[in-house]
Amino acid sequence: MPTKELLVIGELNVDLILNQIEGFPEIGTEILAQKMNLTLGSSSAIMAANASAIGVDTYFCGLIGTDDFGTFILNSLDSKGVKTDFIQKTSEHQSGITVVMSYDQDRANVTYCGAMEALTYQKIPWADLTGFKHLHLSNFFIQKGIRQDIVKIFEKAKSLGLTTSLDLQWDPENRWDFDFKNCLPLVDIFMPNQAELLALTKKESLDQGLEAIAPYSNISVIKLGDKGSLAVENGKRISAAAFTNDNPVDTIGAGDSFNSGFIKKYISGSSLEQCLEYGNLMGALSTTAAGGTAAFSSIDTIKKTLKEKFNSEY
């Protein structure tokens, strides 16, 4: 029987977040930001850190450089209780960084990938995976080292008895070269947001996008922002309303926080409706502090914020 709950495979970087920016940058000019924060970044790491913070036994598999940013990433994950046994260091690449220019409910990002592109199938600790219940993979397109083996990765995970989830994230090259017809049958929970689903399927509506993946997807979970979320299984749709934060600090990591809440409930055997509701709650919680993990600083803080902001229990 598996004794560990969650292994997250993915990219690792720091986020340099700029808030209260006076306009948008133009070539040859300089503008000012009134606030700056250096924090743990990357879709995968935010999901893992917040899953651990809400009580999921979480491990991480990824690659970092032998530099200060790599040390910062390790320390940040350690402080959240994420086990870093399967994080490897390389002297050939620097650790990744994303510069985030945050504007109210939206943002513009510039990312240096570095070591995150060098993670490969061979660097995944397959011999140890039999001890896990679930494998989650995020940000497929930005991880060039695992792209060609994505079907192989999920085939191997399923052969070892794990349940699986995948959050593609956005394709910076806008090519959407993902073999969903062969990969999605091996993924238990496919977790795009609406924009990603439409870009992947080249469709114009949510219904059309869902129809395009229906023959291949087991459970599709679509993040809909302030409209909540939707799950589709065997043609049956279940939706859950969003929790509203009237004064969001930023939305960085809200989708990843949704993933952490959803997967926590999924691993415990909860219904899809309960998974959606808890995912929505964790996504909303994320917006109450800067960056993707600050709102998950401790169980006491989480409980207090959920009660005060959303009149909800942990």
pLDDT the model gives residue 37: 87
Give me the tens of pLDDT residue by residue for the chain, a chain 314 residues long.
778 999 999 999 998 989 899 989 899 999 999 999 898 989 999 999 999 999 999 999 999 999 999 999 999 999 999 999 999 999 999 999 999 898 876 778 899 999 999 999 999 999 999 999 999 999 999 999 999 999 999 999 999 999 999 999 999 999 999 999 999 999 999 999 999 999 999 999 999 999 999 999 999 999 999 999 999 999 999 999 999 898 888 888 999 999 999 999 999 999 999 999 999 999 999 999 988 899 999 999 999 999 999 999 87
pLDDT the model gives residue 105: 66
Domain for residue 16, yes or no?
Answer: no
pLDDT the model gives residue 108: 86
Q: Are 97 and 110 in contact (CB under 8 A)?
A: no
Q: Which helix or strand (DSSP H or E) is residue 17 part of? A: strand 13-21
Domain for residue 33, yes or no?
Answer: no
pLDDT the model gives residue 159: 97
- Residue 97 to residue 163: CA distance in whole angstroms: 30
Domain for residue 28, yes or no?
Answer: no
Domain for residue 295, yes or no?
Answer: yes
Name the residue with tokens 């036994």.
57
- Domain residue limits at 191: 4-11+44-85+116-310
> Could you tell me the CATH number of the domain that includes residue 216?
3.40.1190.20
Distances (CA, A) of 32 to 18, 25, 100, 230, 261: 9, 9, 14, 39, 36
- Residue 58 to residue 49: CA distance in whole angstroms: 8
Domain for residue 111, yes or no?
Answer: no
Domain for residue 22, yes or no?
Answer: no
Domain for residue 97, yes or no?
Answer: no
Domain for residue 214, yes or no?
Answer: yes
The tally of domains found in the chain comes to 1
